[in-house]
A and B are shown apart, each in its own frame.
Chain A
Amino acid sequence: MADSVAVKPRKAASPPAQGGHRSTQRSRREARAAYLFLAPWFLGLLVITIGPIFASLYLSFTDYSLLQEAKWIGMDNYVRMFTEDPRFIASLKVTTIYVVVSVPLQLAFALALALVLDRGLRGLSFYRSIFYLPSLLGGSVAIAILWRKVFGADGLVNAVLGIFGIEGQGWVGDPDTALGTLILLHVWTFGAPMIIFLAGLRQIPSSYYEAAAVDGAGVLRQFKSITMPLLTPIIFFNLVLEIIKSFQSFTQAFIVSNGKGGPADSTLFYTLYLYLKGFKSYDMGYAAAMAWVLLLIIAALTGVNFLASKYWVFYGDDK
């Protein structure tokens, strides 16, 4: 990508017919220099991104404890995952519930707020910043610790419930509700998709609404027939992004469950289990295999998402 960007402008600038042989030689030389200048970046990409990716692919076929040399064991790690590791299946289940529940909720919430903010409130930029704030903070360790306190047995939530005479419970300590608190935390970080929705709403020409109003369409009808169809590309974009992001969630579960995925594995996210396998059980080969399975899952889901998008996303140019 970057090399074409760096070389092209120069080529376009040199007049094609003039000079002939000399100029092609010169531009070739410059291209070579450009590649060389790019070499440090490329070396970095090779050494700290692509190298480790392929190393992890290799390690996923080995028994590797970190403390000893890796031993080739073929497909063993992958087989073990699906045949004799109930915790792997459990972690898949927890993560799937998390994604399936929290992503639609979060997007609905973000869209609703974007619609309200788009009404042309006074001090819009102020509200926008306030609502965006959780997105910046949500992935942080401090908020996760705060979450543990707020939803603890003696936390804020129970104190508020107490005012209404409802006896609360330990929300993060109960396997039935612990995942719910994490989903809530995810929904709360609705700021990023909200900003994108807002930008999308701004793109819809107001003349459409005016014309609809003249024809007697109410607010709901306008939303259904104008806003939603024109917003589908934005919804699709947010959906793809948020699904990928939630599959990779780690920090919240790590902090809220004190790095264990408890109580009773109810918050054992896929990435958390991967981490536990690699660094706590000294089974880095297995962890590497899990990373590749996650990559395949995310790739497959994104692929399905794109295929399905043909049926519901409206780009405006095709009829």
Chain B
Amino acid sequence: MSSGKKMWSAALLATAVLAVTAACGSGGSGGETADGKIKLRFSYWGSDARQKMTEEAIKKFEAKNPTIDVEGEFSDFASYYETLSTKVAGNDAPDVITLEIRGLREYADRGTLADLASKVNTADIDAKVLSTGAIDGKQFAIPTGVNAFSLIVNPAAVESSGAKLPDDTSWTWDDFVQFASKITSGSGGKQIGTQLSWNPAYLQIYAAQKGEPFYNGNKLGLSPQTVKDWWGIMQNLIKTKGAPEAAKSSEIGATSIDQSLLGTNTGAMGMWWSNQLGAAAKASGQNLELLRMPKVQGASTGGMFLQPAMFYTASSKSAHAAEAAKFIDFMVNDPEAGQIILSDRGLPASSKVLAAVRDKLPDADKKTLDFLDKTRGEMSDPPAAPPKGASAMEDILTRYSEEVMFGRMTPDDAAQKFITEANASIAG
């Protein structure tokens, strides 16, 4: 009898232990740590270098706020959003969340984010840039820093091919194609003129030059003709050998900037966000420059625009909303945080922080800053956060662009299908 009882209790105990450990695994969020400090969770993505900087900034914040313990939740970009959405789904959202503009409404429109108006000091941030983080009058997101989508060029490669750098204040898309093809032919194919980009920001700039917005509320504002004309530029580039043939282009398009033509010194140009200048320069070991995007003949605007590199947001379910706001305020406004982070999250959005760190910036970033200062007057207003579903836009655009480049779809057909699918994606 007694041995049976022992077995019973042993088995019960085993079950109980398992249940308790399982419960421990999922719990423990948003609480207090053992020593009574408030625990704040901060999620972000990026490189090892960014993680080191961020940890350093967190230490500084903790030194100033001894009652708060910030725990960085770091992952690479490729898996960032899946991890984040899974955490949100499991009612386990981090208190402070880093987001990009294209994903902002996915989260904001679903009630995931808290209104940060008057909780974070935004006096030193350009009002137009700040407004990109506001939706329906609520300031859900604070920009970390700004970028402009522009053309990066390697002047030495251009020169050695016998071509001449253009006057970028007045050049047209035809000039651009001719320039690229001249680089390829002049260098005997050692330097390809440019690689192709299917970034929606590129199409957005082109459309603005034609007087069309990319998004018009919850629909695309693009006309099929604009999309077709835009593809025409790339088709011409391939035809004149200013860009690699379609298969190679799609292969390069799937790699990072280190593996780009520019980064591997096999091409002279490429289009990226301006904060990529440093990475491209490092990969190529060359002295690179930023250029204005070419224009449509007779366009009244260059169409380029400033866009926040990232946003800091706070979870609407956070048990420590005040502390979360305090941390964001520190990251955005405190010059000491700025000294550590420098331009890693775009050139600082706060003019005060920017002034404080200006001289400490690496050369590439100084160049970016000069370029942005030079072009600021010509820039269009920063576009508002795109509608929900816009995260998929780059994939959709890339897919139809490739169909056209490979000649598997006519531009007419592809433009029509692209607009239909894009509209379906952002309507929901």
Q: Which residues of A contact B (CB under 8 A)?
A: 26, 29-30, 32-33, 36-37, 39-40, 43-44, 47, 65-68, 148, 152-153, 169-175, 257-260, 262-265, 276, 279-282, 284
Question: Are A39 and B14 in touch, CB under 8 angstroms?
Answer: yes
Given contacts A174-B406, A263-B402, A263-B406, contact A67 B7 (CB under 8 A): no
Output the nearest chain A residue to B110 by Cβ-Cβ distance.
A67
Q: Say yes or no for B63: interface residue by CB 8 A criterion.
A: no
Is the pair B106, A282 in contact by a Cβ cutoff of 8 Å? yes
A279 to B80, CA, bound (A): 10
Question: With the chains together, A171 CA to B11 CA distance in Å?
Answer: 59
In the docked arrangement, what's the CA distance between A263 and B252, Å?
Answer: 11
**Bound-complex Cα distance A37 to B402 (A):** 58
Contact A30 B4 (CB under 8 A): yes
Find out whether the CB atom of B247 lies under 8 angstroms from the CB atom of A174: yes
Whole-angstrom CA separation of A170 from B267 in the bound complex: 17
B408 and A265 within 8 A (CB): no
- Asked if A153 meets B22 with Cβ closer than 8 Å, knowing A37-B11, A68-B110, A262-B402, the reply is no
Asked if B85 is an interface residue, CB under 8 A from chain A, the answer is yes
Q: How far, in Å, is A272 (CB) from chain B's closest CB?
A: 12
Q: Smallest CB–CB gap between B317 and chain A, Å?
A: 11
Given contacts A174-B406, A262-B254, contact A47 B22 (CB under 8 A): yes
- Decide yes or no whether B285 CB sits under 8 A from chain A: no
* Residue of B112, B247, B391 ringed by the most chain A CB atoms within 10 A: B247
Chain B residue numbers with a CB within 8 Å of A281 are 389, 391-392, 425
Q: Are B89 and A37 in contact (CB under 8 A)?
A: no
C-alpha gap A257/B106 in the complex (Å): 25
Query: Contacts A153-B251, A264-B406; is A66 near B86 (CB within 8 Å)?
Result: yes
Query: Are B11 and A33 neighbours in the complex by a CB distance under 8 Å?
Result: yes
When distances are taken between beta carbons in the complex, the residues of chain A under 8 Å from B112 are 67
Give the chain B neighbours of A175 by CB distance below 8 A: 402, 406, 408
Q: How far is the CA of A151 from the CA of B8 in the complex (A)?
A: 61
Interface residues on B, range: 35 or more
Chain B's closest residue to A65 (CB) is: B110
A to B contact number (C-beta, < 8 Å):
113
In this complex, the member of B8, B11, B391 whose beta carbon has the largest number of chain A beta carbons within 10 angstroms is B11
When distances are taken between beta carbons in the complex, the residues of chain B under 8 Å from A174 are 246-247, 250, 406
B85 touches A260 (CB 8 A): no
Q: Which of A153, A257, A282 contacts B247 (CB 8 A)?
A: A153
B340 within 8 Å of A (CB atoms): no
CB nearest to B389 among chain A residues? A281
In angstroms, Cα B7 to Cα A62, docked, is: 44
B81 touches A (CB below 8 Å): yes
Closest Cβ of chain A to B246, distance in Å, is 7
Cβ of B78 < 8 Å from any Cβ of A?
yes
CB-nearest residue of chain B to A279 = B82
Instruction: Give CA–CA (A67, B106) in the complex, Å.
Output: 8
Q: A36-B15, A67-B88 are in contact. Are A279 and B81 (CB under 8 A)?
A: yes
Contact B7 A280, beta carbon cutoff 8 Å: no
Please judge, given known A-B contacts A47-B22, A280-B81, whether A264 and B89 are in contact too, CB under 8 Å: no
Does B64 make an interface contact (CB < 8 A)? no
Is residue B395 contacting chain A, with contact meaning CB distance below 8 A? Answer: yes
- Residues of B contacting A148 in the complex (Cβ-Cβ under 8 angstroms): 251
Across the interface, do B248 and A173 meet the contact criterion of CB distance under 8 Å?
yes
**9 A-B residue contacts at CB 8 Å?**
A26-B4, A30-B4, A32-B8, A40-B15, A67-B89, A170-B247, A258-B254, A260-B399, A281-B392
Which A-B residue pairs are the 7 nearest by beta carbons?
A: A36-B11, A173-B251, A170-B247, A33-B7, A173-B247, A174-B247, A258-B254
- Does B240 touch A at the CB level, under 8 Å? no
**Is B398 an interface residue, CB under 8 A from the partner?**
yes
When distances are taken between beta carbons in the complex, the residues of chain A under 8 Å from B15 are: 36, 39-40, 43
Q: Given that A66-B88, A67-B110, A68-B111 are contacting pairs, would A36 and B406 also be in contact in the complex, using a CB cutoff of 8 Å?
A: no
The residue from A67, A170, A264, A280 contacting B402, defined by CB atoms under 8 A apart: A264
Complex CA–CA separation, A160 to B199 (angstroms): 34
Task: List residues 314-347 of chain B with CB under 8 A from any CB of chain A.
Answer: none
- A26→B246 CA distance, assembly (Å): 77
Q: B8, A259: Cβ atoms under 8 Å?
A: no
Indicate if the CB atoms of A36 and B7 lie closer than 8 Å. Answer: yes
Quick one: which of B364-409 are within 8 Å of A by CB? 389, 391-392, 395, 398-399, 402-403, 406, 408
In the complex, A173→B238 CA distance in Å?
15
Instruction: Give CA–CA (A170, B395) in the complex, Å.
Output: 21
B12 CB within 8 Å of chain A: yes
